Structure 1
Amino acid sequence: MPRPKKNVALRRKCAKIATKASVVAAKRKRHAAAGSADAPPPPPPPPVASCSREPTSAQKRKSLVTEQKEQPQASEMKTRSIFCEETLKEIVESMLCPSCCQNNATAKFTHHQIDTYIRVECSCGHVVADTKKGVQVKEKCYPMTTLLVYCMMILGVGYVGVDKLISFFSLHHFTRPTYVRYARFITKTATYLAKSVLEKSRHAVSDHFASKQDVEQVDGKFLVSTTFDGSWHKRGHKSNFGVGAVIDVDTRLILDYEVCSKVCFKCHTKVKQMERGEITATEYVVWLDKHDDCDANYDGSSGGMEAAAAVALWRRSRQYDMIYKTFVSDGDSSAFRSVCRMYQGAGPYGDQCPVVKAECINHVAKRLGTGLRALKKTKSDAEKPATWGGRHKLTDVVIDHLQFYFQVSLSRKVGTTASEMREEIMSTFFHCTSTDDNPQHDRCAKGERSWCFYNRSIALGQQPHSHTKMKVYFRLEEAQKRKIKAIYDRLTTDEMMNRCLQGITQNRNEHLHSRIWKICPKHRNASKMLVDFAAATAVCNYNVGYSESNLAGLLGIEPTLSMEKYLQNMDKTMDSPFRRKMRNKNLRRDLEYAAGGF
C-alpha cells in the first residue's frame, strides 16, 4: 500500500522559502565582495511623487464651519486615576508637614456624588493640600459626576448603567433625581452648543452661495435645495418621539432640526397622582398653570410627526433669511402637502416662490423592489403557486439586481432629460427579459465598450454568447412580463423622472438618524430630554466633528490626553475615504454594474 502524502502544500511552501533565502544570501555575499573594491556609490533613490488626496465630504463640510486651532500640548493635559481612601490615608500619615516638620497630618474627605476632594491638614494648623480649591462647579454639578453622566448618556444606558458602574467600582452612590438633575444640565448645554453650531452652519451656507455666481435670489434671500426626512424612536406607528432635519444639498450641512414629543412624563405623573387621590383637581390646575416646561409639543398620531416637523422647519426658515426651495423627500407626500398648505394654501413663501418637490433616487429604486415583491404575493386564481419562483423566475435575488440596475440607471442620466432617463431604465428591463429567440437590445448602449454583452460582441465582430449566462435572465410568460413592465411604467413617468433629474439622495439624513439612535437606542425607553440630547449631539458631531463639538469645556471638565486622542481618532474615522468603501464592499460584490458584468 503506498504511503499517503501529507502536507504536500506546506512542504512545497517551505522549500520555496528556503530557495529564496539561499538566493538572497548569495546576493549579499556578492554585494559584500563588490563593496570592498573602490566602487562608485549607488545612485540615490528616485524622489517619491507627493500624492495629495481630495478631501472627503466630511472634511469639506467641517472646513466650512470650523477654524484651525492650536492643539494643547500633551504635557499640559491631566490624567486621572482611581485610588483607595485607606491607601491615601496611610500616605498622608507618613507625610512631613513643611511648617513643623512633623508627621501629624490628617486627611479629610469630602464627597459630592462621585467627586471626592481631600484636605490634608497638620495638627499645627497648616493646610498642606486642598484639592477642592479652583474646582469649577456649574449649577451645582461637579465635574467628575458630570463626566460620568455625560458618558452614560452618550452610551445610551441611563441611570441603570451609572448605578452598576458606581456599585462595582465602590464609588459614592447618588440617587436617580440627582442623575436627572445632571442630565438636564448636560442636555441644556448640548442644546446651546447645537444652536451655536447651526448658526455658524447657516452663515457658512450663506457665504457659500454669496461666493457663487448666478445664484437665484428672492428679496435678497438665497434659494437653497434641501433634503428632509423624519425618523421615529420606535418602529411602527406607536412612537412618542420623532426627529426631522433639513440638510443643504450643496454644502451637506445641517441647517435646522426639530424634535417632536407626544408625552410629558411630569404631566403624566400629576394625572396619576390626581387619579389616586394624592392631590385634588384644584391643586392639579394650579400646578398646570405654573408648568411652563412641558415636554409635549405635538398632539396627533405618530405618523403625523414628520409633517409637523417639516412645517416647523419651513416656518423657521423665514427667520434665517433662507428659502428652502427644493423639498427632497422619500416619496411620502404628506409632509410636502403640509408645507404647501401653510398660510392658508399660499405656502411658506407665498405664491411667488412655491416649494418644488424632488425625489430621492434611492427610494425610487426601492419602490421597484417593493412593487415586484408585492406582485409575487398577489397571485390570481389561474396562476399556480410556483409560477413566479424557481430558476429563471422572479426570485428575491433577481429583484435585488433589478432594483440595483434601476438605481444605477438613474445615477447615469442625472442632469439630462426625462426621456433619456426613462430610456436608460427601460433598457435594463428589456435587456434582462431578452432570450436567444427574442433579443431586445435595441435600447442598450452601443459600441465596443458597451455594458451590454450582446451589442459589445456585435461591435467587436464576435458571436454573442447565450442569454442564459446572464446574471438576470427571465423566462416568464408574456402576461407576467406585462405586469412587471407596468410597474416600470408607473415609476418612469415624466413627472417622476423630472423629480429625479437632480440625482439627490437622502443618505445624509439617514446618516444623521443612525447617529441619533446610537445615542438614544430604539430598544430602550427614553424621554424627551434624552432625545433632545441625542439630536443635539449628533448634529454637532455631524457638522463640525467630534473634537470641535466636545462638551467638556462647557461642562466645566478639564480635557485629558486620552480624551483628546479618542476624539481625534473618531474624527479620523469620520474623515476616512475608505470607510464607506469598506462598508459597502460586501453589499456591492455581487451587484457590479460593469462592462460585461451585466
Structure 2
Amino acid sequence: MLCYQRLDALEEKVFSEAVRQVRQIHATHNGMTLSDDDVLDISVNYDGSWLTRGHSSHIGIGCVVDVLTGICLDAHVMCNYCHVCQTTGNKLLQEKPLEYAAWLVKHMDICDKNFAGSSGMMEVEAARVLWGRSVSRHNLRYTVMLSDGDTKTFQELSKIKPYGDQVTIEKEECINHVSKRLGTALRNLVTDCRKKGITLGGRGYGQLTLNTIRKLTIYYNRAIRGGKTVADMKRAVMASLRHGYSTDDKPQHDLCPHGAASWCFYQAALAQNKPPGPHAKLVHTPLNFKKLNPPLKPVYQRLTEDQLLQRCVSGKTQNSNECLHSSVWVRCPKDKFACKNRVRFAVVTGAREFNFGPAAALNTAKFYGFTTGCNMKRLNKARECKRVLGSIRFKKDQLNKRRDTVRAAKLKRQEELIRLEGGAAYAAGQF
C-alpha cells in the first residue's frame, strides 16, 4: 500500500526527469535555446498494450516514446473494471440502496474504473488523454505520431485536434507492421478465393503457397527498408512481383536492379554477357501470371499507394515501444490478475528502468525511503552488463541468418505435414 499511496508523486518525478532530458537533447541536436516555458514540437512513437491477452482485457496502457532519444515521456493506464464496485458496491446497492449514493460519492476518488468502453478503444482513449495533457504537463506537442495503424488513434486525434486548428498532427508508419500487411493480405486472398471454389495456394508450380507468401513478404519488407524515396520503394516492390511472373518465354525483369551485383539472376547474367539460367530453377517465388495477376494486382496496388509509402520513407519502427512493454509486463505478468494501481506501478518503474537503466531501481528505493545495500548495486550492474552483451549478440549477422534459416525450415516442415495429412485439419471458419 505504501507504493500505491505515493504513486502519483513517483509518476510525476519519473516523467518530469525524462522530459527534462529530452528537451535538453532536442535543444542541443537542433542548435537552439529552450526555456522552461517554451513549447517544443517533437515526433513520438505511440503504442498500446493490454494486461490480458486477447480482446477482453479490463486494463490497457498507452505509452509515448520520443523518436529521437527513445525515452518514454508519458504513459496512461485505462481500466473499465473496479473490483470494489463489483463486490461492495453491488451488495450495498441491493441491500441498502439509500446508502449507496453516499458511498459512491466517497468511492469515486479511489475507484479503479476510469473508462467505460471496450478494451479495443483503450488505446484510442489513452491517446486522447496523453495528447490532451502534453502541453500543460510537459510543454511538448506531439506533432508527428509513429504508429502501427492497428487502431483508430490517428483518426481520433485528427478529429479532436488537441492543439487547435493551426497545428496538424502527421502520421508515420512503422515499417515492421507495414511489411506484415502483404503477408496478411495474401493469406486472406487465398482463403477468400477458396470459399469461392478458386484455388490459388495449391501444390503445383507457380501457385501461391505459404512459402511463396513468406518470401514475397520478406521482399516487400526489404523494399520498404531499402527505398529512400516513394518511387524507389514502389519500383522495388513491383520488381519482386514481376520477377516471380517471369518465365523463359516471357521474362519480366525490366524493374529488377541492373548490374553484375544485382540480386536478379537475369540482370546479373546480362551484365556479364552470359546467357541467363532457367527460370524454373532460379526464380524462388514462381507465380502463374495468367492465374494470379488478376487477384494480386489490386493487393499490390493498395500496398504501394503513394500516401502509404510516403509515411514509410523515414524507415522508423516501434521497436522501442515494444521493448518498453516487455519492461512493464515483466513486473506485472499477463497471466495473473492485477489491479489498476499495480499496473500503474509497473508502468512507472518499468519506464524508469527503460529510460535510465537498471540503476534506476536504486532511485525508486530511495524515493520510498528504503535503504540499498551493496548486493542490490551489484545485481543492477550485472543486469546492465547482461543487457548490453545481449544487444551486441542479437545484432550479429550470423545469428540473423541462422534465425531466418530455422524459420524457413520450420515452415517447410509444416507444409510437408499438411500435405501428407491431405490438407489443413484446422482453419478458422473453413469447415
Please give the range of the TM-score, normalised by the shorter of the 2 chains: 0.7 to 0.9
User: Is the contact made by 2:332 and 2:342 (CA closer than 8 Å) also made in structure 1?
Assistant: yes
User: Is the contact made by 2:39 and 2:141 (CA closer than 8 Å) also made in structure 1?
Assistant: yes
Alignment-derived partner of residue 429 in structure 2: none
CA distance 1:341–1:381, shift in 2 (3 Å): closer
Alignment of 1:359 with 2:176, yes or no, is no
1:371 to 163, 185, 206: 185
User: Is the contact made by 1:433 and 1:474 (CA closer than 8 Å) also made in structure 2?
Assistant: yes
Seq. identity, %: 35
3-state SS of 2:102 partner: helix
TM-score, normalised on structure 1?
A: 0.62
Alignment of 1:518 with 2:330, yes or no, is yes
Structural RMSD (CA): 2.5
CA distance 1:285–1:384, shift in 2 (3 Å): closer
User: Match of 1:365, as an amino acid?
Assistant: S
Q: Distance in 2 between matches of 1:189 and 1:208?
A: 29
Q: Once the 2 structures are TM-superposed, how far is the Cα of residue 579 of structure 1 from its aligned partner?
A: 4.2
Alignment-derived partner of residue 251 in structure 2: 439
User: Match of 2:366, as an amino acid?
Assistant: G
1:246 to 49, 52, 64: 64
Q: Distance in 2 between matches of 1:210 and 1:390?
A: 59
2:209 to 395, 407, 414: 395
User: Match of 2:272, as an amino acid?
Assistant: L
User: Is the contact made by 1:327 and 1:357 (CA closer than 8 Å) also made in structure 2?
Assistant: yes
Alignment-derived partner of residue 9 in structure 1: none
Alignment-derived partner of residue 578 in structure 1: 392
Alignment of 1:544 with 2:373, yes or no, is no
Alignment of 1:198 with 2:12, yes or no, is no
Alignment of 1:281 with 2:97, yes or no, is yes
| Matched residue count | 399
Alignment of 1:307 with 2:121, yes or no, is no
Alignment-derived partner of residue 71 in structure 1: none
Q: Once the 2 structures are TM-superposed, how far is the Cα of residue 224 of structure 1 from its aligned partner?
A: 0.6
- Could you list the per-position Cα deviations for residues 347-376 of structure 1 after superposition, in whole angstroms to 9, with x for gaps in the alignment? 111222110111111111111111000011
3-state SS of 1:295 partner: coil
Alignment-derived partner of residue 404 in structure 2: 588
Alignment-derived partner of residue 297 in structure 2: 485
Q: Once the 2 structures are TM-superposed, how far is the Cα of residue 389 of structure 1 from its aligned partner?
A: 2.5
3-state SS of 2:111 partner: coil
Structural mapping, 1:27-42, within 5 Å: none
Q: Distance in 2 between matches of 1:470 and 1:215?
A: 55
Q: Once the 2 structures are TM-superposed, how far is the Cα of residue 585 of structure 1 from its aligned partner?
A: 5.3
Q: Once the 2 structures are TM-superposed, how far is the Cα of residue 383 of structure 1 from its aligned partner?
A: 4.4
User: Match of 1:419, as an amino acid?
Assistant: A
- Could you list the per-position Cα deviations for residues 559-582 of structure 1 after superposition, in whole angstroms to 9, with x for gaps in the alignment? 233322221121122223424336
User: Is the contact made by 1:243 and 1:306 (CA closer than 8 Å) also made in structure 2?
Assistant: yes
Q: Once the 2 structures are TM-superposed, how far is the Cα of residue 226 of structure 1 from its aligned partner?
A: 0.9
User: Is the contact made by 1:216 and 1:222 (CA closer than 8 Å) also made in structure 2?
Assistant: no
User: Is the contact made by 1:239 and 1:302 (CA closer than 8 Å) also made in structure 2?
Assistant: yes
CA distance 1:381–1:300, shift in 2 (3 Å): closer
User: Match of 1:389, as an amino acid?
Assistant: G
Alignment-derived partner of residue 231 in structure 1: 49
- Could you list the per-position Cα deviations for residues 291-345 of structure 1 after superposition, in whole angstroms to 9, with x for gaps in the alignment? 2111111111111111100010101111111111111221135111211222xxx
Q: Distance in 1 between matches of 2:116 and 2:395?
A: 42
CA distance 1:408–1:287, shift in 2 (3 Å): same
- Could you list the per-position Cα deviations for residues 541-568 of structure 1 after superposition, in whole angstroms to 9, with x for gaps in the alignment? 1100111233333344332333222211
CA distance 1:588–1:223, shift in 2 (3 Å): farther
Long gaps (5+) in structure 2: 409-431
Q: Once the 2 structures are TM-superposed, how far is the Cα of residue 270 of structure 1 from its aligned partner?
A: 1.7
User: Is the contact made by 1:222 and 1:322 (CA closer than 8 Å) also made in structure 2?
Assistant: yes
2:89 to 271, 277, 291: 271
Q: Distance in 2 between matches of 1:382 and 1:222?
A: 54
Q: Once the 2 structures are TM-superposed, how far is the Cα of residue 203 of structure 1 from its aligned partner?
A: 1.5
CA distance 1:215–1:591, shift in 2 (3 Å): farther
Q: Which has the higher helix share?
A: 2
User: Match of 1:580, as an amino acid?
Assistant: F
Alignment of 1:430 with 2:246, yes or no, is no
Alignment-derived partner of residue 3 in structure 2: 186
Alignment-derived partner of residue 421 in structure 2: none
Alignment-derived partner of residue 469 in structure 1: 281
Q: Distance in 2 between matches of 1:190 and 1:436?
A: 69
User: Is the contact made by 1:191 and 1:532 (CA closer than 8 Å) also made in structure 2?
Assistant: no
CA distance 1:191–1:565, shift in 2 (3 Å): farther
- Could you list the per-position Cα deviations for residues 162-187 of structure 1 after superposition, in whole angstroms to 9, with x for gaps in the alignment? xxxxxxxxxxxxxxxxxxxxxx3224
- Could you list the per-position Cα deviations for residues 240-275 of structure 1 after superposition, in whole angstroms to 9, with x for gaps in the alignment? 000001111111111111100111112222223225
User: Is the contact made by 1:365 and 1:407 (CA closer than 8 Å) also made in structure 2?
Assistant: yes
Q: Once the 2 structures are TM-superposed, how far is the Cα of residue 463 of structure 1 from its aligned partner?
A: 2.6
Alignment-derived partner of residue 113 in structure 2: 296
Q: Distance in 2 between matches of 1:300 and 1:549?
A: 34
Q: Once the 2 structures are TM-superposed, how far is the Cα of residue 462 of structure 1 from its aligned partner?
A: 2.4
- Which stretch has the larger CA shift, 421-430 or 466-475? 466-475
3-state SS of 2:361 partner: coil
3-state SS of 2:152 partner: helix
Q: Distance in 2 between matches of 1:462 and 1:331?
A: 46
Q: Once the 2 structures are TM-superposed, how far is the Cα of residue 441 of structure 1 from its aligned partner?
A: 1.3
User: Match of 1:469, as an amino acid?
Assistant: K
Q: Once the 2 structures are TM-superposed, how far is the Cα of residue 194 of structure 1 from its aligned partner?
A: 4.0
- Could you list the per-position Cα deviations for residues 137-183 of structure 1 after superposition, in whole angstroms to 9, with x for gaps in the alignment? xxxxxxxxxxxxxxxxxxxxxxxxxxxxxxxxxxxxxxxxxxxxxxx
User: Match of 1:305, as an amino acid?
Assistant: M
Q: Once the 2 structures are TM-superposed, how far is the Cα of residue 220 of structure 1 from its aligned partner?
A: 4.5
CA distance 1:513–1:449, shift in 2 (3 Å): same
Alignment-derived partner of residue 415 in structure 2: none
Q: Distance in 2 between matches of 1:376 and 1:287?
A: 57
3-state SS of 1:438 partner: coil
3-state SS of 2:311 partner: helix
User: Is the contact made by 1:573 and 1:579 (CA closer than 8 Å) also made in structure 2?
Assistant: no
